[in-house]
Chains A and B, each alone.
Chain A
Amino acid sequence: MTDLSTNSTLETTQPGEAQFGDYFALLKPRVMTLVVFTALVGLLAAPVPVHPFIGFCAILFIAVGGGASGALNMWWDADIDQVMKRTAKRPIPAGRVEPGEALGLGLALSAFSCVFLGLATNWLAGGLLAFTIFFYVVIYTMWLKRSTPQNIVIGGAAGAFPPMIGWAAATGSVGIEAVLMFCLTFMWTPPHFWALALFMRSDYDDAGVPMLTVTHGRRSTRVHILVYTVLLAALAIGTGFTSIGGPVYLAVAVVLNGLFLKGAWEIFRRDEDASEADNFKTEKAFFKLSLLYLFAHFGAILLEAGLARFGLGGWA
C-alpha cells in the first residue's frame, strides 16, 4: 500500500498551497456584501411575507451564485489580474489556486445556487439568478470587458439583478418596484467605477482593458461621470414618489444626491494637474461616497418597508 509520506506528488506540494480562505476569496466576498444587502432589501421590500428560514436560504443561494460568478470571472481574467496592482494578489495570479480549480468551483456553485434557489423559492428566481451569472461571466467578463469602453455600463446590469431576484423570490414575479431597484443600481455603477478608473489610472492602461479613461480620455470620463450622476439623481429622487419610496427615502435621496451631484460637478471641473496635485482626493472621496450612496438608498427602501408593517411607511 502506498504511504502518503512516500507519495512524491503530495510530498512536493508547495508550502503556499491554497487554504480555505483562498477559495473563499475567489467568491469576491466584498462584492458579495453588496449582493446580499440589495437582494435582502428586494426580498423584504416585497409585499409578500416569506418564511424566515426560506428567506435566509434565498439570500444565501443568491450570495453563493454571486460568488460563483466571481470565481468564474477570476478564472477568465487571471491574465489581466496578474498585471493590475489592485488584483495581483488574488488567489490565481498569486499562484495559490489553479485556474482549473476556480473554473470547477465556479461552475459547481453556479449550478448548486440556481437549482437550490429554485427549489427553495420559485423557478423564476432560480432562472433570474442563472441569467445573472451568465450575463456577468459571458456577456460582461468574456465579451464586453475587453472589447468596449461601455463595458461598465452594460456589465453593470449583472450587479443590478440581485434586488430583482430577491423580489422574485418573495413574490414569484417581477414588479415595477423590482425594476426601479434594478435601475438604481444599474445607473449607479458607471460613475462608481469611472471614479475608480480615474485614480487607479495605470492599472487599466497596463492591462489593456478598454476603460473609458483609456479609449476616450480622462476629460471625457469626467463628463460621463457628471452626465450619469445627473440621470441617476433624477431616477433616485423620482423613486421616492413610488410605492417603494416614502418620506424617509425621499429625505435620504435628496441629501445624498445633492452630495453626489456636488462631487460629480467637482470632478467635472478639475483637470489632471489639480487631481495629481492632491493625489485624486476628490475622485477618491466621490468613490467612497458612492458606496455609502447605494447602501443608504437601499437601507431607506428597507426602512420604508419596515415602517409599512406598522402602517407608517410610504405615502399612504
Chain B
Amino acid sequence: MSISKQHDLHKRRFGRNVGVGLLLVSFIVIVFGMTMVKVTGGDISGALQGDRGVQDGG
C-alpha cells in the first residue's frame, strides 16, 4: 500500500495541520516584517526609494 493513501488519520488531523501551517506562515511574516522595520528604522518606502536611487546611479 502506498503511504500517500488517504487515511482516516489524515482527515482527523487536517484542521490541526492547516492550523500549524498558518502559524508557521504567520511566524515568517512577523520575522520578515520586524526585520524590515528594524533595518529601515520604520521608513520602509523611503529605504526602497533610496535603494532605487543607488541603482539609478543617483
* A residues lining the B interface (CB < 8 Å): 1, 3-6, 10, 13, 15, 17-21, 51, 53-54, 57, 60, 119-120
Is B37's beta carbon under 8 Å from chain A? Answer: yes
**Would you call the interface of chain B mostly helix, strand, loop, or mixed?**
helix
Contact A120 B34 (CB under 8 A): yes
Question: 8 Å CB contacts to A: which residues of B5-50?
Answer: 5, 7, 9, 12-13, 15-16, 18-20, 30, 33-34, 37, 42
For the complex, what is the distance from the CA of A21 to the CA of B15, rounded to whole Å?
9
* Residue from A6, A20, A21, A60 having most chain B Cβ neighbours under 10 A: A20
Contact of B33 with A20 in the complex, beta carbons under 8 Å: no
A53-B33, A54-B37 in contact; A3/B3 too (CB < 8 A)? yes
CA distance A54 to B5 in the complex (A): 44
B21 CB to closest chain A CB (Å) equals 10
Q: Which residues on the A side are within 8 Å of B54 (C-beta)? A: none
- A119 touching B7 by the CB < 8 A rule? no
Number of A-B pairs whose CB atoms are under 8 Å?
43
Q: Which residues of A contact B33 (CB under 8 A)?
A: 53, 57
Tell me the bound Cα distance from A4 to B34 in angstroms.
40
- Considering only CB atoms, which chain B residue lies closest to A51 in the complex? B42
**B1, B12, B15: which contacts A3 (Cβ < 8 A)?**
B1
Q: Known contacts A3-B1, A51-B42; decide if A119 and B34 are in contact (CB<8 Å).
A: yes
| Also in contact, A54 and B34, with CB within 8 A (given A1-B3, A3-B1, A10-B9) | yes
Contact assessment for B16 and A20 in the assembled complex, using a CB-CB cutoff below 8 Å: yes
Which residues of chain B have C-beta atoms less than 8 A from A3's C-beta?
A: 1-3, 5
Given contacts A5-B5, A19-B16, list 16 more A-B pairs with CB under 8 A. Answer: A3-B5, A4-B3, A4-B9, A5-B1, A17-B12, A18-B16, A19-B15, A20-B18, A20-B19, A51-B37, A51-B42, A53-B33, A53-B34, A54-B34, A54-B37, A57-B33
